[in-house]
Amino acid sequence: MTADPDRSLGSRPETIQHHSVIIVGGGPGGLGVAATLEGWHPYFKGDFEFPVPEVQELAEQFRDCPLELDQHRVLQAGLRPIEFYRMRHHPVQEALPLDEWTLGFTRRSRVDWKLLSLDRPGGLWNNVPREQLTLGPAHWMELAQYPVQQFYADTGRDSDPNALIHKNDIVPYYHAFAEKLDLNRRIQTGAEVTCIRPLSEDAGPRFLIEAETDAGRQWYTCDFVVFAVGPKSSPRHLSADGTDQPYVQFNYNHSDDLPGDRVMVVGGGRSADWAATECHDAGKTVVYVMRQTPDPHLKLINESQHLPYYRRLAQILSEDQERLGLLYGSEVKEFRPDGNVLIGTPEGDVEVQVDHVIVEIGGEPDYSLLQGFQPLTLVPKRDNFRFQVMQMQTDQATFESVDVSGLYPAGYLSQGTGLSVIGFHCGAYLIAGDILRRLGYFNTAALMNEA
């Protein structure tokens, strides 16, 4: 586990920046930790109730600074620490009016953190299709330090926090979050972390991070890494010949970008469903190819009928339409230069002539960035929204990896996020609280509120 920084780097670079904490990834997972380390700390207010009397007592005792509470005590008392925070942020399904929140925030002094990310604040939402809607209500997507209702009010949006939120609103929300909480000074976008390696466990910084930035290659050392690269940072590989043909694209934005009429969609999950539905409704002829059999796909469609875009897909499939052909149990074998695509189907090979191919086969967290550590213990996660990811096994009171001291997976990457769409934001308090404790923050005058 120990590496010499000079040897790790080959030759010593001119500068190595050191920070106490480096957050890799500026999606909602990374941003929540950043805001908390910046000093935006939660407190509990008004009347609130926890289902476990011992937890209620602890919450009362630490109501001014719950981050100071060692969450192992909550765990021992029988409540999952992520629930401890979720119950205050999302006590009910519907958005609570802001004056009924029992969670508030105060500004205390910051610790030394930096965030490195390829994308701007908001993570993958910056790159989703132009008209993308969420799977759940707007307020489920919020980071509590800046409620989405407040964002709507501040920006003159007459929108319902209980309604789905459009890309045009959620991306500005995350951008406004970073701006409002004064995070941008410590966020470096356009930075691709290429490697995270261990240094000494006994003395000096624990981690060495290498990144490609606009200014060239940079090195950083830090004591804590928050690993928030998101659930899709390593795209899945399509094993077919000719994936580099110019008519094959891996990032769907909008049907307007596709001048031709014949579109093939390869996938079978929610992103592929979105592209197939939108292209069909734009008047294209769509061939939709997926490896799965009809049953799981139709189950996903049936179970998603609360979403307008899935009601539309079900309607298209129930109509006697001729512009959407589904090839189940099928696999693309070759994309040919003339636009002919060879597909293996249960009935044998077929060839289809197309103008465009959209590949939407998802991805997985890029754990390969972590090099030289002992193997990570990963556990499979699936939720009711058919969200699937391999999560890092963590201490459930802190979300620190059980394998690597000082490494904290954020967002969905930690085991135990609960129902992913509303639970994972609260992991930020577990992570930041633990880091602050280990930095000795609560023993210092740092708790003084900032003027």
Shortest distance, CB of residue 29 to ligand FAD, whole angstroms?
3
Shortest distance, CB of residue 393 to ligand FAD, whole angstroms?
17
Shortest distance, CB of residue 384 to ligand FAD, whole angstroms?
12
Checking DSSP bridges between strand 248-249 and strand 356-359, what pairing results, if any? parallel
Binding string, residues 227-246; x marks residues near ligand FAD by CB under 6 A: -xxxxxx-------------
Binding string, residues 132-171; x marks residues near ligand FAD by CB under 6 A: x-xxx----x------------------------------
Q: How many Å apart are CA 124 and CA 154, to the nearest integer?
A: 24
**Candidate segments 37-45, 114-122, 399-407, 439-447, binder of ligand FAD by CB under 6 A:** 114-122
Q: How many Å apart are CA 354 and CA 360, to the nearest integer?
A: 16
Q: How many CB atoms neighbour CB 79 within 10 A?
A: 21
- The residue (of 229 and 341) whose beta carbon lies closer to ligand FAD is 229
Residue 247 near residue 271, CB atoms below 8 Å: no
Phi-psi region of 17 (alpha: psi -120 to 50; beta: other; left: phi over 0): beta
- The residue (of 198 and 409) whose beta carbon lies closer to ligand FAD is 409
Give the CA angle between residues 127, 132, 136 to the nearest 5°.
115
Shortest distance, CB of residue 338 to ligand FAD, whole angstroms?
32
Shortest distance, CB of residue 38 to ligand FAD, whole angstroms?
17
- The residue (of 55 and 211) whose beta carbon lies closer to ligand FAD is 211
Q: Which of residues 313-332 bind ligand FAD (CB under 6 A)?
A: none
130's CB contacts (< 8 A; 6+ apart) are 167, 253, 254
Shortest distance, CB of residue 300 to ligand FAD, whole angstroms?
14
**Among 68, 70, 119, 160, interactor with ligand FAD by CB under 6 A:** 119
Task: List the one residue out of 230, 247, 443, 434 whose CA is nearest residue 337.
Answer: 247
Q: How many Å apart are CA 136 and CA 150, to the nearest integer?
A: 18
Binding string, residues 265-304; x marks residues near ligand FAD by CB under 6 A: ------x---------------------------------
Measured in degrees and rounded to the nearest 5, phi and psi for residue 222 equal -160, 165
Shortest distance, CB of residue 216 to ligand FAD, whole angstroms?
15
Helix or strand or coil: residue 249? strand
Q: Is 344 in the site for ligand FAD (CB under 6 A)?
A: no
Q: Which of residues 354-373 bind ligand FAD (CB under 6 A)?
A: 366, 369
42's CB contacts (< 8 A; 6+ apart) are 36, 66, 67, 85, 88, 103, 104, 105, 144, 429
Shortest distance, CB of residue 305 to ligand FAD, whole angstroms?
16
Q: Encode 235-266: b = buried (16+ Cβ within 10 Å), e = exposed.
A: eeebebebbebebbeeebbebeebeeebbbbb
**Among 128, 148, 341, 397, interactor with ligand FAD by CB under 6 A:** 128
**Among 125, 152, 177, 328, interactor with ligand FAD by CB under 6 A:** 125
Count Cβ atoms within 10 A of the Cβ of residue 320 and give its class: 0-12 exposed, 13-18 middle, 19 or more buried: exposed
**By CB under 6 A, how many residues form the interface with ligand FAD?**
35
**Candidate segments 73-81, 83-91, 123-131, 154-162, binder of ligand FAD by CB under 6 A:** 123-131
Shortest distance, CB of residue 177 to ligand FAD, whole angstroms?
12
Q: Which of residues 21-80 bind ligand FAD (CB under 6 A)?
A: 24-30
Shortest distance, CB of residue 189 to ligand FAD, whole angstroms?
8
- The residue (of 54 and 366) whose beta carbon lies closer to ligand FAD is 366
**Among 16, 124, 314, 419, interactor with ligand FAD by CB under 6 A:** 124
Binding string, residues 378-417; x marks residues near ligand FAD by CB under 6 A: ---------------------------------xx-----
Q: How many Å apart are CA 91 and CA 49, to the nearest integer?
A: 10
Checking DSSP bridges between strand 216-227 and strand 407-409, what pairing results, if any? parallel
Checking DSSP bridges between strand 285-290 and strand 103-107, what pairing results, if any? unpaired
Q: What is the DSSP string of 162-195?
A: TSEEEHHHHHHHHHHHHHHTT-GGGEEES-EEEE
Interface ranges with ligand FAD (CB under 6 A): 24-30, 116-119, 123-125, 128, 132, 134-136, 141, 191-193, 228-233, 271, 366, 369, 411-412, 421
